[in-house]
Amino acid sequence: MLRRSALLACLLVCAIAAQAQDALWLGRFDAEAATVPAPWQVIQLDAKVAPTRYRVTWWDGVLGVEASAERSMALLARPVEVDLERTPVLCWRWRVDAPLVKADLGTKAGDDYAARVYVSFALPPSEIGWVLRGKLALARSIYGDAVPDAALNYVWDNRYPVGTRRPNAYTDRAHIIVAESGAANAGRWVVARHDVRQDVIAEFGSHEARLIQLSVAADTDNTGETAHAGFADFHFVAKEAGCAFAP
């Protein structure tokens, strides 16, 4: 019996190791780093709004990024090159102390989230007609070059049920997908797994969208609230593969 248990344990460890080798990792951090290392960088979208603070830390046994927002907003972002046909599924872990109270994703005044994971895309020229080109030019004249051709926001919401999808209140070039909602899972790390390629096809009809950036944020500038969130272990895997989290 002991030999059989040892064999099963060995097979489990080997399977996890194989998955880890096949995964494309984007969010493994150095516990000794004082700040979040390159290629991650803070992007402040509005100089008039205080930026959310980010640092690398251990939190309940998980090494990741801690985000602290107080009437603030800034992305922590990094460039990404991923073959979404080969590895379309994004895995990560996240947590919040509590969802926001006043947020409402259906309004500009309520467009805040205790935690959000933001993936940005470049679309092929064949999918950008003159109407969309004009919309993007106008948006970039207001908000800067950080405005992508298309983006998905996986959010931890306060009121809408998991699975809710709708355009962002500010721009239809960013679509909201509620991945967690409410306080039931607050205060602990939660595993997330989403097929990014499937989602960008469903939301924007693009089979050739190229993923260019991954960002995280705790966002409270509109509601004036505070938020405390964590993000860890970002990696892409094949559609049929499991996420490669350590046990």
CB of 62 within 8 A of CB of 231? no
Q: Specify the pLDDT at position 218.
A: 97
DSSP state of 125: G
Q: List the domain boundaries for the chain.
A: 2-237
Going by C-alpha positions, the residue among 92, 111, 96, 32 that lies closest to residue 215 is 92
Which pLDDT belongs to residue 16? 43
pLDDT at 29: 81
pLDDT of residue 247: 59
Overall fold of domain 2-237: Jelly Rolls (2.60.120)
Closest to 115 measured CA to CA, from 243, 245, 226, 27? 226
Phi then psi dihedrals of residue 212, to 5 deg: -125, -20
Dump the DSSP string for 121-178.
EEPPGGG--HHHHHHHHHHHHHH-TT--SEEEEEEEESSSPTT-EEE-SS-TTEEEEE
Residues in contact with 96: Cβ distance below 8 Å, sequence separation at least 6, in sequence order? 114, 115, 156, 186, 187, 218, 227, 228, 229, 230
Distance, first Cα to last Cα, the chain:
23
Q: pLDDT tens across 16-64, in order?
A: 444 445 789 987 787 777 678 889 999 998 889 999 999 999 999 999 9
CA distance 88 to 115: 22
Q: pLDDT under 50 in the chain at which residues? A: 2, 5-20
How large is the greatest C-alpha to C-alpha distance in the chain, in angstroms? 69
Which pair of structure tokens corresponds to residue 141?
């004249």
pLDDT of residue 20: 45
Radius of gyration for the chain, computed over Cα atoms and rounded to the nearest angstrom: 19
| pLDDT for the residue numbered 133 | 82
∠ at Cα 237 (234, 241), nearest 5°?
130
Q: Which pLDDT score, from 0 to 100, does residue 194 have?
A: 98
